[in-house]
Structure 1
Amino acid sequence: MDASGLRVALFSGNYNYVRDGANQALNRAVAYMLRRGASVRVYSPTTDTPAFEPAGELVSAPSFPVPGRGEYRVPWCLSSRLRRDLAAFAPNVVHVASPDPLCHRAISWARARSLPIVASVHTRFETYPRYYGLAFLEPAVEAILRRFYRRCDAIVAPSESMAQLLREQRMSYDVGIWTRGIDREIFRADRRDLGWRESLGIAPDVPVIGFVGRLVMEKGLDVFSDTIDLLAERGVAHRVLVVGDGPAREWFENRLPNAVFAGFQKGPDLGRAVASMDMLFNPSVTETFGNVTLEAMACGLPTVAARATGSESLVSEGVTGRLIRPGAIGAFADALGQYCMDADDRARAGAAARQQAERYGWDQVNQALVDTYLRVVRQRVHGTVVRSSPVP
């Protein structure tokens, strides 16, 4: 069998109603599979105002808003309507992309029919409680995730560092890599635009520390703010440029009154914004890959990031940027200060980052996911799948 023989039922908690790195990766994968002749059916919550048009056929799943985070929705059941649709589609592999109630039910549905199941890991859900004062829940969340992933034939992670963490957490005996690619037409160093920077009130000779991403606390906004405060105390010349939007924007604006908030950007405008920075600061520990880090690298920026999953697989310490112990405000400030004050060091690291980003292409990346599908289908046909949990 090749890709044209695949019939993939993909379940996701967010396929296109809010734009983020995870669902954009899923949409790119679906578009790639359709070009290769595969059949794909996507089951996910929908809204009347989606962030972008979905790739492939999207079937709306019953859902409700997340309490306190109404922009996200929880798909809560595999309804009789969805079951009829699945039966008519007759998939030969099931892909679950989030540990929500719908995906739990999809796994049970697939196991009852002896269908192979692949799970993709997009974020470190077990770390989220610490950002809401509920760190004591992390072991329980990790246990729930372990049960979820062990009911699948294989799981795929976006970076080797994340894959290794999943192995250490005993999430699965079969952990592969489905990394992320880069759109080289959008993210290029030559999109740098000092005129655009000046229109935002940023002088051309002031080094710009950038933040790119959804403005939510789990992205490390508190660490980012504290680090910028320390840089200011040290008298290091800089400006902060924030690209993105989200529910914590007001908090972030109040914390960083001298920062420039450019709001949500996409396509060539996003490429221009990233390329017009001088360095990226990514203190998050929830990333499993770090799309924004790769995009910054492709634009020729050094990155100062937390030494955590995702970033560890992208940033070469002392070569393309700096990896700092999570939460180490002083060390973050040291690294950013060095890049702010030494333009030559910044340029060397940026050039190395751009060269390293060249090896990430979307077609090669998505073929790895297709290869995983084909492998688990083949293993199921030949009866060689090793179940890591007997739970039905």
Structure 2
Amino acid sequence: MTRILHILDHSLPLHSGYCFRTRAIMKAQIASGMLVAGVTGVRQDQHGYESGALLENVEGLDFFRTLTDVSGPSPVREWREIAVFSDRIAEVVQQWQPDILHAHSPALNGLAALRVAQKLDLPLLYEIRAFWEDAAVGNGTGREGSPRYWLTRQLENHVVNGADAVAVICEGLKSDLVLRGVAREKITVSPNGVDMSLFGQPTAPDEVLRKQLALAGKSVLGFIGSFYDYEGLDDLIAAMPYLQEKCPEAHLLLVGGGPMEKALKEQVQTSPASDAITFAGRVPHADVERYYGLMDIMVYPRKSMRLTELVTPLKPLEAMAQGRLVAASDIGGHRELIEDGKTGTLFPAGSPQKIAAKLANLLKNRDSWPQTIETARKFVEADRNWSSNILRYKPVYQQLIAHKSYERAA
């Protein structure tokens, strides 16, 4: 029975897209008969969760923890993180005896895993979920072309070149790596997916919540997530006055929070459509489905930049699985998931008037909704279901393990 050790930045019980993808992978692998565990680095505590336990079971999944504190100025601190995490991974390997290391970005995790793989003669699969230098630009903590951006990119290249195989979540990331000189045959695409047991049933509207939010009789456009600049929520807010001219019943419901929250609220205060925009704030994860149930169209107006052009998001897939109509900007990450007019609607990124025009057309043609929703749901079930997605890892694991066994025997 194959034993897989996942090397992670952070994990459950924290809630993030990173954690949910990890959970889905691990649970699907266990269901397929593999033995699976994870080990998290020192940043698990920095994300706001400290268990104090070296081994923790969350939702039936085992996670080994790295409890050492690391300090110092950048980049000294990062090198210390790698050293500490590398030592902890080696301890877990000796204790748990995995057949293969499956490290997940960022590159710091990959560097720590690469040290252990080389030292203990284990095969290493390195998975990239996003280029983290681009993610830093997207969330406002980095600048494209800066020394830190360049260094992060070089570290990623080093891990990719040192790993036995590479996995990415979408074709955009694969194409970028190929342009960097990575052999196509070294890269496997394991796309984002949905656990249909968690998202497979459409949520009925919560009439009490609808009344509390004063949404009765409204056509509700919804967004649930983090308010980063790259999400393009300012463009969606700017589109609302144009949309209301054509569809007075349209109402925008924004659920979540983040770095752009203050600026977005200030924008709404000066908008002619301010009465048609509601901020619900951050809500407990257990309540998210109640808000999904009130939304007629889930809208994802991401801006065009390297991060969004290359990386596919998870939330549109979850919305499709929920039986929600999806409308999104026509950036590369969305085009890989949504076929305009068939599984959803695509509108030009960064153009409030064109966004409004596409949304108005959608609201005026409700007869087409059931077919679009059904087509999108079938797409998720067939091509983005985790029970089938994890099968893409299996031949890679088998090949790497067999090759390493051959090398040892030679």
In the aligned structure 2, how far is the partner of 1:18 from the partner of 1:240? 28
State, as a whole percentage, how many aligned pairs show the same letter.
17
Q: Which runs of 5+ in 1 are unaligned?
A: 68-72, 384-392
Partner of 1:387: none
Structure-2 change in CA distance of 1:317 and 1:377 (3 Å): same
Of residues 20-29 and 131-140 in structure 1, the stretch that sits farther from structure 2 once superposed is: 131-140
Normalising by structure 1, report the TM-score.
Answer: 0.80
Partner of 2:405: 381
Tell me, what secondary structure is at the counterpart of 1:193?
coil
Partner of 1:155: 166
Tell me, what secondary structure is at the counterpart of 1:276?
coil
> Is 1:291 the counterpart of 2:324 in the alignment?
no
Tell me, what secondary structure is at the counterpart of 2:336?
helix
In the aligned structure 2, how far is the partner of 1:179 from the partner of 1:318? 22
Do 1:76 and 1:100's aligned partners in 2 also have CA atoms closer than 8 Å? no
Number of aligned positions between the proteins: 374
Partner of 2:282: 263
Do 1:15 and 1:44's aligned partners in 2 also have CA atoms closer than 8 Å? no
Q: Could you tell me which of 77, 80, 83 is aligned with 1:78? A: 83
Of residues 179-188 and 299-308 in structure 1, the stretch that sits farther from structure 2 once superposed is: 179-188
Tell me, what secondary structure is at the counterpart of 1:119?
strand
Deviations 1:206-254 (A, max 9, x none): 2111112223334333434334455357665411122334444444344
In the aligned structure 1, how far is the partner of 2:167 from the partner of 2:150? 22
Structure-2 change in CA distance of 1:193 and 1:227 (3 Å): same
1:186-205 aligned within 5 A? 186-188=198-200, 190-193=202-205, 195-205=207-217
Tell me, what secondary structure is at the counterpart of 1:155?
strand
In the aligned structure 2, how far is the partner of 1:135 from the partner of 1:330? 29
Computed over aligned residues only, the root mean square deviation of the Cα atoms, in angstroms, reads 3.5
Q: Which has the higher helix share?
A: 2
1:357-372 aligned within 5 A? 357-359=380-382, 360-372=384-396
In the aligned structure 2, how far is the partner of 1:192 from the partner of 1:374? 43
In the aligned structure 2, how far is the partner of 1:349 from the partner of 1:227? 23
> Is 1:243 the counterpart of 2:243 in the alignment?
no
In the aligned structure 1, how far is the partner of 2:180 from the partner of 2:331? 15
Tell me, what secondary structure is at the counterpart of 2:145?
helix
Tell me, what secondary structure is at the counterpart of 1:243?
strand
1:137-152 aligned within 5 A? 137=146, 141-152=152-163
Do 1:43 and 1:58's aligned partners in 2 also have CA atoms closer than 8 Å? yes
In the aligned structure 2, how far is the partner of 1:220 from the partner of 1:125? 19
Do 1:96 and 1:118's aligned partners in 2 also have CA atoms closer than 8 Å? yes
Per-residue deviation, 1:62: 4.0
In the aligned structure 2, how far is the partner of 1:228 from the partner of 1:370? 47
Per-residue deviation, 1:66: 12
Do 2:222 and 2:296's aligned partners in 1 also have CA atoms closer than 8 Å? yes
Of residues 298-307 and 125-134 in structure 1, the stretch that sits farther from structure 2 once superposed is: 125-134
Per-residue deviation, 1:178: 1.8
Normalising by structure 2, report the TM-score.
Answer: 0.77
Deviations 1:317-368 (A, max 9, x none): 1212223444344333322222233322444422322232222332222232
1:1-392 aligned within 5 A? 4-6=1-3, 8-16=4-12, 18-35=14-31, 36-45=33-42, 46-47=44-45, 49=49, 53=58, 55-60=61-66, 62=68, 76-79=81-84, 80-128=87-135, 129=137, 132=140, 134-137=143-146, 141-171=152-182, 173=184, 174-188=186-200, 190-193=202-205, 195-228=207-240, 230-232=242-244, 237-256=249-268, 258-261=277-280, 263-267=282-286, 269-284=287-302, 286=307, 288-359=311-382, 360-382=384-406
Structure-2 change in CA distance of 1:248 and 1:14 (3 Å): farther
- Quick one: which amino acid aligns to residue 282 of structure 2? G
- Quick one: which amino acid aligns to residue 299 of structure 1? Q
In the aligned structure 2, how far is the partner of 1:118 from the partner of 1:180? 17
Structure-2 change in CA distance of 1:10 and 1:187 (3 Å): closer
Tell me, what secondary structure is at the counterpart of 1:315?
coil
Structure-2 change in CA distance of 1:319 and 1:245 (3 Å): same
- Quick one: which amino acid aligns to residue 60 of structure 1? T
Deviations 1:266-306 (A, max 9, x none): 35x33332242111111236463322101111222232223
Of residues 257-266 and 19-28 in structure 1, the stretch that sits farther from structure 2 once superposed is: 257-266
Do 1:161 and 1:312's aligned partners in 2 also have CA atoms closer than 8 Å? no
Do 1:17 and 1:50's aligned partners in 2 also have CA atoms closer than 8 Å? no
Structure-2 change in CA distance of 1:34 and 1:253 (3 Å): same
Do 1:219 and 1:283's aligned partners in 2 also have CA atoms closer than 8 Å? yes
- Quick one: which amino acid aligns to residue 118 of structure 1? L
Deviations 1:43-80 (A, max 9, x none): 3333373699362132225466999xxxxx99823324
Do 2:202 and 2:321's aligned partners in 1 also have CA atoms closer than 8 Å? no
